[in-house]
Amino acid sequence: MSKLLTPTEIEQELATLQSWTQAGNQITRTFTLPSFPAALAFASAVGHLAERADHHPDILIQYRKVTLTLSTHSAGGLTEKDFHLATEINAIA
Amino acid sequence: MSKLLTPTEIEQELATLQSWTQAGNQITRTFTLPSFPAALAFASAVGHLAERADHHPDILIQYRKVTLTLSTHSAGGLTEKDFHLATEINAIA
């Protein structure tokens, strides 16, 4: 079971996590891809990482934009799992 | 350029389109798949149909649920294109 991060810990994590922002109990980032097929392929790649981590962001595809939203629902907020997966996603963006 | 449907036409279309509902200028349906990988694969299949039709729904993947939202933004509301693609999507669900 992942431990909820404190507001200070969340701030520290966000400081090193490029382009993600906090929205309440979640972190979110929108990626703009060159095309709709590229957006789909990116969503699929994110899905691969999510399945490997057994941690699943909400994935919203709007034409060539992909918005990811991460939270640890079982813990009721943000945990290391969210920042770990967000870092992995940034690495493939 | 697709022609906006009248409220009566929209009602008629919805009457024969299983499980989609109207929400303002859009139609929407949520599909529940057996798993997250299945949800991703379904989103990808929807994306193929969307690309073929050059008409792109918003696709929201939340674990094993996929919510599709269709509207013809260029026309400012619902057109035949939306109902045509929704019918195609139902056929692969």
Per residue of chain B (93 residues), give pLDDT as tens: 689 999 999 999 999 999 999 999 999 999 999 999 999 999 999 999 999 999 999 999 999 999 999 999 999 999 999 999 999 999 999
> Which residues from B are below 8 Å from A when comparing CB atoms?
36-37, 40, 43-44, 47, 50-51, 56, 58-63
Strands A21-23 and B21-23: unpaired
Residue with structure tokens 């919510």? Answer: B67
What does CATH list as the number for B25-92? 3.30.1360.20
Q: Measured between CB atoms, which of A50, A56, A61 is closest to B59? A: A61
Instruction: Write out chain B residues lying below 8 Å of A50, CB-based.
Output: 36
User: What pLDDT does residue B1 have?
Assistant: 66
Q: How many angstroms separate the Cα of B66 from the Cα of each of A92, B31, B40, B43, B56? A: 23, 5, 8, 7, 14
Interface predicted TM-score (ipTM) over 0.90: yes
User: What pLDDT does residue B57 have?
Assistant: 98
Which residue on chain A is closest to B62 by alpha carbon?
Answer: A58
Report pTM. Answer: 0.96
User: What pLDDT does residue B46 have?
Assistant: 98
User: What pLDDT does residue A78 have?
Assistant: 98
Residue to mutate among A36, A67, A74, A85, with most B CBs inside 10 A, is A36
| Model pLDDT for residues A17-65, shown as the tens digit of each residue | 999 999 999 999 999 999 999 999 999 999 999 999 999 999 999 999 9
Q: How is chain B split among helix, strand and coil, in percent rounded to 5?
A: 45, 25, 30
Read off the amino acid at residue A17: L
Which residue on chain A is closest to B52 by alpha carbon?
Answer: A37
